[in-house]
Structure 1
Amino acid sequence: MTELQPLDAGFIELEDADRRVSLGIAAVAILAGRPPARAEFAAMLAERVAANQRLRQRIRRAPLDLTAPVREEDPNFDLAHHIRWAALPEPADETVLREFVAGELVERLDRDHPMWECVVVERLADARWALIVKAHHSLVDGVSGVSLFERLCDAQESDPRLRAAPPADTAAGPDWFDRVVAGLRLPLDVPRYAVGMMRSLIPVVAAFVSVPEASSLNGPIGRQRRYTIARASLTEIREIGRGLDATVNDVVLAAVTSAYRGVLLGRGEQPTGKTVRILVPVSMRAADAKSLLDNRVSAVLSLLPLHLDDPVERLITIHQRMARHKSSGAAQAEKSLLDLAGRLPFAPVAWGMRLWSRLPQRGVTAVATNIPGPRRTLSVLGREVLELIPAIPIAMRLRTGIAILSYGDQLTFGITGDYDSTPDLEKIADGIHTAIADLLAAARARPQHPVG
């Protein structure tokens, strides 16, 4: 058995706090040709699951949450619980697939079994099919979720690590002696963490205390979802970055900023520099822990400059703000806070999470997570993966969420919205496309200085 870390357990608490929320995250793969036979697919999946113990573990909670939840072997593990086959109605095109994905984001994963599943969509237009791999956020974050999908794909001789079992998770189960020792060390450990952490956490705490100006992007959400997609060339995104002295992540956030500005203007709202505060997850995962199924993320909070009309000025402002956030150490401080939570008795931590998750948060307006995806071309049982599209849940009054995933030369934005409050979700995708085109034109128009 292994204990859930505080962030993993926090996603369980967050889902429990709102019956309208499902915290499954998904990778949607579009593949060429016809899907494999059911027996062939099941045999492949059984082989992959046999190499990863975490996929055969369920979560068991302690009475009254006196100790942390643990992952334990599911005594009734049956692969059939984790495979579903689906067919789309005509014309089985992308619009129909997006509606299907929106429905998948609503359905909660079964807590009585390991919380993941594969959905095979047997036929798409243009001689394609789809594979949706969904896992609960307590099991994976963006990086480990992509790694999980890669391990379900065909391995190549040039990449033998994909066939190797992932590194063993050596975290021990409940050990009362270790708990006692940790408790005795708290008076020494807490001050050591506190000084540097508090210095870096001041901007984070201020962000949650200072509520952004009210907008229709934040508020109660229902149970149904909308889902749409935007696409960009990673080569062009990098060209923008080189031409305008920005990072890929800066360019992505500038496009998201432009899209939210356009949506609010279309709703008759006047966006300002204090309208949208975005949460940007930051991976804290070491390279050798890429394959471990858990959450190793912190976050940066930043106001988006929606008040600026010029796209280049917006990009420059975002670049400057993100550079300040990185240098402030806020993300590392949040990670230290989670590490400290892991040293405390679980019961008060869990009860605090439960109380916090039930409060109507207004400090964050949106979330955008940028996930580095596979560079090589993937395949499943010999069928080429043509596209890889992310899909994330929304919760806590965030009416939209955007996941950005690279695959080869394509950058794909998977955009989730609350059904009732975001009937114009397509405008976010349109705004992203327009913003990238505007930035690319500006980058190409800027005079290039010769080297040397």
Structure 2
Amino acid sequence: MTELHPLDAGFIELEDSDRHISLGIGAVAIISGTPPTRAEFAEVLGERIAANARLRQKMRRAPFDLTAPVWEEDPNFDLAHHIHWTALPEPADDSALFDFVAAELEKRLDRDHPLWQCIVVERLTGDRWALFVKAHHSMVDGVSGVTLLSTFCDGMEAVESGGANGAQPAVNWLAWAVKGIRLPFDLPRHAVSVIRGLIPLAAATLASATDSSLNGSIGQQRRYIAARTSLTEVREIGKAFGATVNDVVLAALASAYRDLLLQRGEQPAEDTVRILVPVSMRAADAKYVLDNRVSVMIPALPVHLEDPVQRLSLIHDLMTAHKSRGEAQAEKSVMGLADWLPFAPIAWTVRLLSLIPQHGITALATNIPGPPHALTVHGREVLSLLPAVPIAMRLRTGIAILSYHDQLNFGITGDYDTNPDLRTLADGIHGAIAELLTAARNLPDAL
């Protein structure tokens, strides 16, 4: 058995606190040709998951949450519980696929079994099929979730069961004793550093943003849409303006949210759109460990600016300032500190906080590095990878950005009742990248 880390367990607590949410993270591989037979698919998938103990483990909670939940072997593990086949109604195009993804994001994973599933979607238009892989957020973050999907592809290294996936390591009593002796001396210094970094995060979370339709209660139904862009073009924009790929992504989102607010008849103010930006803290040697290793930043998108280049420049400056303040490291340190605390008060605190309506954050945007080369599944080419993230905590929109080969694809999840116009966000992203690319190519050095 392996205990869930506080962040992993926190997603269980968050889901339990709100009947409207399901915290499954998904990725959709759209694949050319026709799928293999069910027997062929099950045989290969069984081989791929054999190296990963986590995929054969279910989560068990302790009575009254006195101790952390644990991953334990499912004595009745049956691969058939986790593989499903379906076909979409005519015309079985991308729009129908997006509706299917939205419906799947509404469904909670069955806690009587390991918290993941694969769904094969047959007979898409254009001689295609799709593989939708979903796992609970307590098991994976964006990076490890995409790694999980990639390991189901041909020629990819199987996920190893080391690290957090293996048996609980033996306790190093000498190390614990040394920590205990040093704790009275290290804790005050550590606490000052953590508090200094957390102050901006706390302020952004607790402060109320300018009133808009982007933040508020959510229902159970979801909408989903994707925007496909070129990673090559985004890199060209970044190189021209001295910005990162993530800067360009956030600038495109700022433009899209500006369009959305104007379409809804709302004025885009300077602090209207504060977004939660997860930052991966995953070391290279933990690539295949299925758990959460993220911190967060909460920048405000400059939706008040009309000029796309000015938006990009300001976002670059904002993100540089956020990183220099150490907010992500401070939040990571808090999660590390939580490993020292009893689980029960942590669980109760998460439940209490989830009941307090937050008004300071309006959306989630997570940028996930995906496979840099083309993939195949059973010899069929993976044409594109689309990410899908859940929403919760009054965040009516969640946007995941996933690179794959030469693509950069945006998967947009929205609350069904309050986000009927997700197409505006997708079109805004396309329009913003096109504007920035034109501006980049019109620079004097580009001539």
TM over 0.5: yes
Q: CA deviation at 1:187?
A: 3.9
Shift of the alpha carbon at 1:202? Answer: 1.5
Q: 1:164 to 1:260 in 2, by over 3 A?
A: closer
Provide Cα deviations, 1:121-164, integer angstroms capped at 9, x if missing partner. 011001110000000000000111111111111116xxxxx147
After superposition, the Cα gap between the structure-2 partners of 1:189 and 1:351, relative to the gap in structure 1 and judged at 3 Å, is farther
User: Superposition pairs for residues 96-111 of structure 1, below 5 Å?
Assistant: 96-111=96-111
Structure 1 residue 388 corresponds to structure 2 residue 385 = yes
2:74 counterpart of 1:74: yes
For 1:159, the equivalent position in structure 2 comes to: none
Q: Report Cα offsets for 1:223-260 as digits up to 9, x if no partner.
A: 00000011111111011111112111000000000000
Q: Quick check: 1:366–1:398 contact (8 Å CA) kept in 2?
A: yes
- In the alignment, residue 168 of structure 2 is paired with which amino acid? A
Query: How far off is 1:367 after superposition?
Result: 0.7
Tell me which residue corresponds to 1:422: 419
Shift of 1:192: 3.8
1:272 to 263, 269, 274: 269
1:190 and 1:340 in contact (8 A); partners too: no
Q: Which moved more, 1:184-193 or 1:208-217?
A: 184-193
- Structure 2: how far apart are the matches of 1:123 and 1:242? 40
- Residues 18 and 183 of structure 1, relative CA distance in 2, 3 Å threshold: farther
The answer to which of 330-339 and 177-186 deviates more is 177-186
How far, CA to CA, are the matches of 2:51 and 2:442 in structure 1?
A: 52
Aligned equivalents of 1:211, 1:39: Cα separation in 2:
54
Amino acid at match of 2:335: L
Q: Given the alignment of the two structures, is residue 306 of structure 1 paired with residue 303 of structure 2, yes or no?
A: yes
2:348 is aligned with 1:351:
yes
Paired residue for 2:443?
446
User: What does residue range 353-372 of structure 1 map to in structure 2 within 5 Å?
Assistant: 353-372=350-369
1:374–1:164 Cα change, 3 Å: same
Supply the AA of the counterpart residue of 2:307.
D
Contact 2:160 2:289 in 1 (8 A): no
Say yes or no: does 1:33 pair with 2:29.
Answer: no
Is the CA contact (8 Å cut-off) linking 1:57 and 1:73 kept in structure 2? yes
Q: 1:133 to 1:235 in 2, by over 3 A?
A: same
1:125 equivalent to 2:125? Answer yes
Map 1:189-200 onto structure 2 (within 5 A): 189-200=186-197
Task: Name the residue aligned to 1:225.
Answer: 222
- C-alpha deviations, 1:191-235, integer Å up to 9, x for none? 242011111111112212222111100001010000001111111
In the TM superposition, residue 190 of structure 1 has moved relative to its aligned partner by 2.9
State the match for 2:400 in structure 1: 403
Instruction: Tell me if structure 2 keeps the 8 A contact 1:121–1:131.
Output: yes
| Residue type at the aligned position of 2:312 | L
Query: What is the rounded CA distance, in whole Å, between the counterparts of 2:169 and 2:315 in structure 1?
Result: 43
CA distance in structure 1 between the aligned counterparts of 2:174 and 2:386, rounded to whole angstroms: 42
Aligned length: 445
Long gaps (5+) in structure 2: none
Aligned counterpart, 1:43:
43
- 1:239 maps to 236
The CA deviation at 1:85 is: 0.5
**Alpha-carbon displacement from aligned partner over 1:13-51 (angstroms, at most 9, x marks no partner):** 110011010000101000111111001111011111111
How many angstroms does 1:188 deviate by? 4.5
> Which of structure 1's runs of 4+ aligned residues deviate more than 6 A?
173-180, 182-185
Q: Which range moves more in the overlay, 283-292 or 207-216?
A: 207-216
Contact 1:3 1:174 in 2 (8 A): no
What is aligned with 2:160? 165
Paired residue type of 1:309: E
Task: Provide the C-alpha distance between the structure 2 equivalents of 1:41 and 1:186, rounded to a whole number of angstroms.
Answer: 52
User: Are residue 53 (structure 1) and residue 71 (structure 2) matched?
Assistant: no
Secondary structure of residue in 1 paired with 2:211? coil
Residue identity in the other structure for 2:377 = V
Which of 278, 281, 304 is residue 284 of structure 1 equivalent to?
A: 281
Paired residue type of 1:165:
E
Say if 2:116 is the partner of 1:116.
yes
**What is the rounded CA distance, in whole Å, between the counterparts of 1:344 and 1:286 in structure 2?**
24
**Distance (Å, rounded) in 2 between the aligned partners of 1:183 and 1:346:** 19
Deviations 1:352-403 (A, max 9, x none): 0110112111121111000000012111111111110000000011110100
The verdict on how the C-alpha distance between 1:66 and 1:439 changes in structure 2, with shifts beyond 3 A counting, is same
1:142 alignment partner in structure 2: 142
User: 1:284-320 deviations in whole A, cap 9, x for unaligned?
Assistant: 0000101000000001111111110111001000000
SS in 2 for 1:430: helix
Is the 2:52–2:159 contact (alpha carbons within 8 Å) kept by the matching residues of 1? no
Structure 1 unaligned residues grouped into runs of 5+: 157-161
The alignment's C-alpha RMSD in Å is 1.9
Identity across matched positions, percent: 66
Q: CA deviation at 1:439?
A: 0.6
Q: Partners of 1:405 and 1:171 in 2: how far apart? A: 32
> 2: CA distance between counterparts of 1:34 and 1:380?
11
Q: 1:178: how far off? A: 9.7
3-state DSSP of counterpart to 2:400: strand
Amino acid at match of 2:3: E
Higher mean displacement: 89-98 or 171-180: 171-180
SS at match of 1:343: coil
The separation in 1 between residues aligned to 2:73 and 2:114, in whole angstroms, is: 9
Q: Pick from 361, 370, 375: which aligns with 1:373?
A: 370
Range 374-383 or range 290-299, more displaced = 374-383
Alpha-carbon distance, 1:179 to partner: 12
Residues 153-185 of structure 1 show CA distances to partners (whole Å, capped at 9, x for unaligned) of 1116xxxxx147353436727979899967787
Whole-angstrom CA distance in 1 between matches of 2:410 and 2:188: 42
Residues in 1 aligned to 2:68 and 2:51: alpha-carbon distance in whole angstroms: 26
Greater shift, 206-215 or 240-249, is seen at: 206-215
1:312 maps to amino acid = V
Shift of 1:6: 0.6
Aligned-partner Cα distance in 1 for 2:323–2:171: 37
CA distance in structure 2 between the aligned counterparts of 1:185 and 1:234, rounded to whole angstroms: 48
